Chain A
Amino acid sequence: MTDQTSSTSVTASRTRARGASTGFLGLGRRDAALFGVVIVMVVFAPIILNPFPVNSAMAQFNAGFPQLMQQFLIFGIFAIGFNILFGLTGYLSFGHAAFLGIGSYAGVWMFKLLGMNVLYAVTAATAIAGIFAVLIGYISLRRSGIYFSILTLAFAQMCYALALSVLSPITNGETMLQVTHNDPRVLGSAVGPDGGLPVPTLFGLEMRSTYTMDAGPWSFDFNLGYYFCGVFMILAFYLAIRIFRSPFGMMLRAVKSNQQRMRYTGLNPRPYTLAAFVISGMFAGFAGGLLVSMDPIAGTERMLWTRSGEVVLMTILGGTGTLIGPVLGAGFIKYLESILSKINSGILHSWFGFLPDGLEDFIVAIIYPFVGKGWHLTLGILFMLVVIFLPGGLVEGGTRIGRLFRRRKATDTSDTPAE
């Protein structure tokens, strides 16, 4: 048997567990290992992402604060869903932010009408985004390639424009939709326990409640909202693995590969692509519901086309069509956004203060456009570098490094053949 010959240009998604070894939760061995790593990372992220002591100069590079970690997970879910459509079928939607926005509005309306339990919000967000995905997908999927992208973009911009104008009684337009004292909230109370606005809860537990653990100079925040998102991110990731390894997932890859052959093989590509579109739309809506569960406010900018572009960047940067790539991409971009945009000229001057004055000003002047408000410039450059040198994204980078190590090991121990 020449099983080992198929290693060239195989992305992580295609290296499936050979043979029908169904181990942990019906996953193959490699998938189960990856899934385990993701669970461990999610559980211990509040510690892993805060490696620098609070009072050290490096503390500004810590990512372990609740808002940012919630963003990692929520946009991770958004990107996982997007990747089911784009990574498997190759249909590049440029309008997925519409579902994020729809989910957000649906979530806030649940808080206003029903009650502050986050389960109302995420359920409604997923369901309503799903309905919109059926409508938008049904029409957009009549075309493929660039025309599909333009159609989805047009729909998303329509949603944005409507939310800003005609639908402002529902969306509250530019002033953003939020919870007020006058909401009906039939299953909850008008005011929070402290007399202020009520906050999102899970059966009475407030999403914002945080336990801070001090360990010497270090400080770690364990936030309930973060772990709530974490549970769903793990579920979303598990669902993605199952879809990738299922006959349905194989059909989606067949759509990407050759629709003509698919039709002449007795398969109808249209319902497959629509199902993928709706699933990814529901993931996006769910992410929107989580966003408002962490911070119950929804604005139109969440539907803007730059948001749609962001999830495309996340997926490509991390590794299109791979399982873990979109999550990595989402984390990477959100981290850059948060950390780089915090750096201002004062911080830069303090970093380079040891240099002679003229040189200090010169270096600060060069770096300044890439940080603070200019962090998109850095993102753009990194994106270009990845697309040119690592077309498979961060995952391909990881695989290459891994292969390098394995090769070195193989030459060390000489005659053991590389797997």
Chain B
Amino acid sequence: MGILEVKGVNKRFGGLQALGDVNLSVQDQSCHAIIGPNGAGKSTLLNCLVGKLIPDSGSVMFDGQSVLGRAPHEINQMGISRVFQTPEIFADLTVLENVMIPCFAKRDGAFRMHAIESVGGEVELREKAEEMLREVRMLDKRHEHAGSLSRGDKRRLEMAMCLVQEPRLLLLDEPTAGMSRADTNSTIDLLKEIRDTRNITMCIIEHDMHVVFSLAQRITVLAQGTPLVEESPENIKGHPKVREAYLGEAQV
């Protein structure tokens, strides 16, 4: 049994079968990549995992519990965090506040009326957030506005916001999309560090094969809404079915 078990998931948008009978098993504390050409249904699948979409049929189990029908914030409280294609951060708030908010969410749940306490008095949470920022090497920027950060720093911040909650599963939707080579490489290094030092499962959707082969221990290839192959990176490279799916799109 993997930590995330997807069984027989179907999703149809009008006449388009976006996902057809998807089965996927992500092993605990591994890094699992989902690749596939444009329109293969990667993002649809991810949205089914986090509660943004509800599949027409099938089941999605996380750690033995079904996530289907739960709201995104409930799924997050179960231990699943998500990194977006374009970093989603609180742009009007400071970097430190951005990291403290997930700390509050983790400690106090989806809603708590803590209107009289002062944020300044929450020393423990602030230290936790600062420790996290040190880990992603952004501590010196903690009083800056998150909206004024560079693209790469925004990504690091978003990652810190997810990791500070100590999720069991981290979902990454094209974490290096639109990044420069340098930013991509530093993101890969950061993700490697996370993979090797934390008890965390990562599930990554990516176009960039360099990123995929640097990180993934297991790769699922999705094409036209159906998984073609699930293999280790070494066996994926020369796989005939994968060549077929990607023909003319990328050199695998």
Q: Decide yes or no whether A182 CB sits under 8 A from chain B.
A: no
B90: contacting residue among A10, A26, A261, CB under 8 A: A261
A18 surroundings in chain B (CB, below 8 A): 143
A247: contacting residue among B50, B72, B114, CB under 8 A: B114
Q: Which of the 9-residue segments A56-64, A205-213, A264-272 touches chain B? A: A264-272
In the complex formed, the residue of A with least CB distance to B91 is: A257
Within 8 A of B (CB), among A233-251: 242-243, 245-251
- Residue tally, chain A, CB below 8 Å to B: 45
**B90→A249 contact, CB < 8 A:** no
**B90→A257 contact, CB < 8 A:** yes
A266: contacting residue among B93, B120, B123, B165, CB under 8 A: B165
In Å, the complex CA distance between A18 and B165 comes to: 24
| CB within 8 Å for A258 and B94 given contacts A28-B120, A264-B50 | no
Q: Decide yes or no whether B81 CB sits under 8 A from chain A.
A: yes
| CB within 8 Å for A261 and B117 given contacts A6-B144, A254-B101, A268-B73 | no
A264 surroundings in chain B (CB, below 8 A): 50, 72-73, 76, 81-82, 84, 88
B73: contacting residue among A6, A14, A245, A267, CB under 8 A: A267
**A266→B77 contact, CB < 8 A:** yes
Q: Decide yes or no whether B113 CB sits under 8 A from chain A.
A: yes
Q: Decide yes or no whether B207 CB sits under 8 A from chain A.
A: no
Q: Which of the 9-residue segments B3-11, B15-23, B103-111, B233-241 touches chain A? A: B103-111
Q: Decide yes or no whether B182 CB sits under 8 A from chain A.
A: no
B50 surroundings in chain A (CB, below 8 A): 264
| CB within 8 Å for A19 and B101 given contacts A264-B50, A267-B73 | no
**A250→B93 contact, CB < 8 A:** yes
In Å, the complex CA distance between A213 and B141 comes to: 56
Q: Decide yes or no whether A32 CB sits under 8 A from chain B.
A: no
In Å, the complex CA distance between A28 and B88 comes to: 31
Within 8 A of B (CB), among A10-29: 10, 14, 16-22, 26, 28
**A22→B101 contact, CB < 8 A:** no
A268 surroundings in chain B (CB, below 8 A): 71, 73, 110-111
**A253→B88 contact, CB < 8 A:** no
Q: Decide yes or no whether B189 CB sits under 8 A from chain A.
A: no
B118: contacting residue among A6, A22, A254, A279, CB under 8 A: A22
In Å, the complex CA distance between A314 and B126 comes to: 35
| CB within 8 Å for A266 and B111 given contacts A22-B118, A261-B88 | no
In the complex formed, the residue of A with least CB distance to B125 is: A247
Measured between C-beta atoms, what is the minimum distance from B50 to chain A in Å?
7
Q: Decide yes or no whether A165 CB sits under 8 A from chain B.
A: no
Measured between C-beta atoms, what is the minimum distance from B202 to chain A in Å?
16
| CB within 8 Å for A6 and B101 given contacts A245-B118, A275-B113 | no
| CB within 8 Å for A247 and B120 given contacts A6-B145, A263-B73, A268-B73 | no
**A263→B120 contact, CB < 8 A:** no
In Å, the complex CA distance between A20 and B125 comes to: 12
Measured between C-beta atoms, what is the minimum distance from A18 to chain B in Å?
8
Q: Decide yes or no whether B35 CB sits under 8 A from chain A.
A: no
In the complex formed, the residue of B with least CB distance to A17 is: B120
A26 surroundings in chain B (CB, below 8 A): 118, 121
Footprint of A on B, CB under 8 Å? 50, 71-73, 76-77, 81-82, 84, 88-94, 97, 100-102, 104-106, 108-123, 126, 140-141, 143-145, 148, 161, 165
Q: Shortest 10 CB-CB distances between A and B: which pairs?
A: A266-B76, A248-B115, A20-B120, A266-B105, A257-B90, A268-B110, A261-B88, A271-B111, A257-B92, A263-B72
